[in-house]
Amino acid sequence: MAELREIPPEERPDHLPVWRDDGQGLQINEIFYSIEGEGLRVGQPTTFVRLARCNLRCHFCDTEFERYTEMDLDEIAAEVARHPAEWVCFTGGEPLGQNLAALAARLKADGYRLHIETNGVVAPTPALCDLIDHWTVSPKGHPVVAGFARITELKYIVGKAFREDRVEEDRADYIYLQPESSDPRFVQKALEILTRHPRWRLSTRIHKTLGLP
Ligand code: SF4
């Protein structure tokens, strides 16, 4: 399991997430309501909690995750409660770059169902594994680390570099292929790969089509 420690400011590259052991304060980029637009939960009303910063720099990334507000658990829970969703999705940036266990326990106790979307490079703690109902791991050119108790869906971005022989089919209940940036060339590539793997599925980003956040 990847070991996370608090990195002193003088050693810390600015873009890296900040891990704090108590998890009582988190760097939040935004909290917003929308419809889940990708993968198995597509169509479900969801409150998204976007954690700031990311440990990777993908060339196709279209997410703004650098800005943040320091929020404590009461502030986050109050903001989540403003929205009419049963599901809360932790996204980023890289949500596992910060210590989410205390927030997840708080929201679980408040009756929410919890989803995480992660790049799979940082292992979750066992405490967090027990609290999350739906795991989306979306590898970005790096192997998925050990430590995920159960992965609901592995979602691969299909672009030029995608290799179907690197799909870790045995590690997840569902495999999704998502064309990079909805580029028609990569849609075609994904459709062609699906002819060889009929149990895998196509994921498109319906929130983008609908103009939703
Ligand atoms: S892992 Fe996700 S959030 Fe991070 S840079 Fe890549 S696409 Fe963006």
Ligand 1 mean position, distance from CA 16 (Å):
12
- pLDDT for 180 equals 94
Task: Decide: residue 129, CB within 10 A, 0-12 exposed, 13-18 middle, 19+ buried.
Answer: middle
78-122 pLDDT per residue, tens: 999 999 999 999 999 999 999 999 999 999 999 999 999 999 999
- pLDDT for 19 equals 86
The reply to whether ligand 1 has any atom less than 6 angstroms from the CB of 63 is: yes
Closest residue to atom 8 of ligand 1, CA basis? 61
The reply to whether ligand 1 has any atom less than 6 angstroms from the CB of 58 is: yes
- pLDDT for 13 equals 63
- pLDDT for 165 equals 95
The preferred substitution site among 140, 145, 157, 180 for testing ligand 1, maximizing ligand atoms within 8 Å of CB, is 140
- Using the atom order of ligand 1, give the atom closest to the CA of residue 93: 3
- Using the atom order of ligand 1, give the atom closest to the CA of residue 60: 7
Task: State the 10-residue block means of pLDDT for the chain, 213 residues long.
Answer: 50 75 94 97 98 92 91 97 98 96 98 98 93 97 90 97 95 97 95 98 92 91
The reply to whether ligand 1 has any atom less than 6 angstroms from the CB of 57 is: yes
- pLDDT for 15 equals 76
Classified as helix, coil or strand, 173 is strand
- pLDDT for 1 equals 39
The pair of structure tokens assigned to 75 is 């502030």
The preferred substitution site among 53, 56, 142 for testing ligand 1, maximizing ligand atoms within 8 Å of CB, is 56
The pair of structure tokens assigned to 197 is 């793997």
C-alpha–C-alpha distance, residues 65 and 51, integer Å: 7
**58, amino acid identity:** C
- Using the atom order of ligand 1, give the atom closest to the CA of residue 119: 1
Task: Please report the domains of the chain, with CATH numbers, ordered by start residue.
Answer: 9-208 (3.20.20.70)
Dump strand ranges (E) for 22-131. Answer: 25-35, 45-51, 69-72, 87-91, 113-118
Closest residue to atom 3 of ligand 1, CA basis? 93
What's the predicted TM-score (pTM) here? Answer: 0.92
